[in-house]
Amino acid sequence: MPVFPTRSSDRMQLATDLVNGMRTNPELFSGCPVSADQLEQLTERVKGADFRKKEAKAAGVGATAEKRQAEKERDTSMKQVLRHVENVTHNDAGSLQSVGWGARRPRGRRSAGVVPGQVLVLEIVEEGRDWVSLRWKAPADGGRVASYTVQRKQGDGDWGFAGTSTSRLVRLEGQPQGVPLEYQVVAGNAAGEGPPSNEVRVVMG
């Protein structure tokens, strides 16, 4: 099982991933004691306290108590959410990764220069007249993902750029109508891009 992070930056990233996961996978959080909105509010409180701490430090004034308290309340809520989703999914690794609670990848030199692995389980969440929402799961291996690139192909054409996302969900507006479209997602970082995900197909209009 993954371990609750000790670094402040890692806990902040986990909070962001959890909020996104709770909103894109609501079926896993029915009856959860903490809502996505509540966790987001606690996360924003930590960000605000951190900003005020930096301002106070620049002015030569100590101001860490507020941030520590905000982090404590946010972390307590996160642990409640994580216990809930572990119980609901029976510790299924794939389900846990879909809400940001997976094995933590090594930091620093161990992951430097390593491209991400393949994006997993790309699927169409919803579609409209000229828009489509896609979601996927993070790579199970490789280096840390900095962003995702969505690629689109029309008919027998070549793959081209369709959009980017730093989360595992994207809504693409203004898409061509009445023609077969295929989408795939590639994870990237400073070292390069990993292999593309599976492809999904849709005709809008």
| Fold (CATH) for 112-203 | Immunoglobulin-like (2.60.40)
Tokens 């479209």 — which residue? 181
Residue 98 per-residue DSSP state: H
Angle at 174 between CA 172 and CA 177, to 5 degrees: 110
Angle at 90 between CA 87 and CA 96, to 5 degrees: 85
pLDDT in tens, the chain (205 residues): 567 878 888 888 888 888 888 888 888 888 888 998 998 998 888 888 777 777 666 655 555 777 788 888 898 988 888 888 788 877 777 667 767 776 444 444 445 478 999 999 999 999 999 999 999 999 988 888 989 999 999 988 899 999 999 889 999 999 999 999 999 999 999 889 999 999 999 999 8
Distance CA(130)–CA(179), nearest Å, equals: 11
Q: Which amino acid, 199?
A: E
Q: Where are the domains of the chain?
A: 8-98, 112-203
The answer, as to whether pTM is greater than 0.85, is no
Which among 90, 69, 79 is positioned nearest to 39, based on CA atoms? 79
Distance CA(111)–CA(103), nearest Å, equals: 14
Predicted confidence at residue 110, as pLDDT, reads 41
Concatenated DSSP letters of 122-176:
EEEEEE-SS-EEEEEE--SSBSPP-EEEEEEEETTS--EEEEEESSSEEEE-S--
Distance CA(65)–CA(71), nearest Å, equals: 10
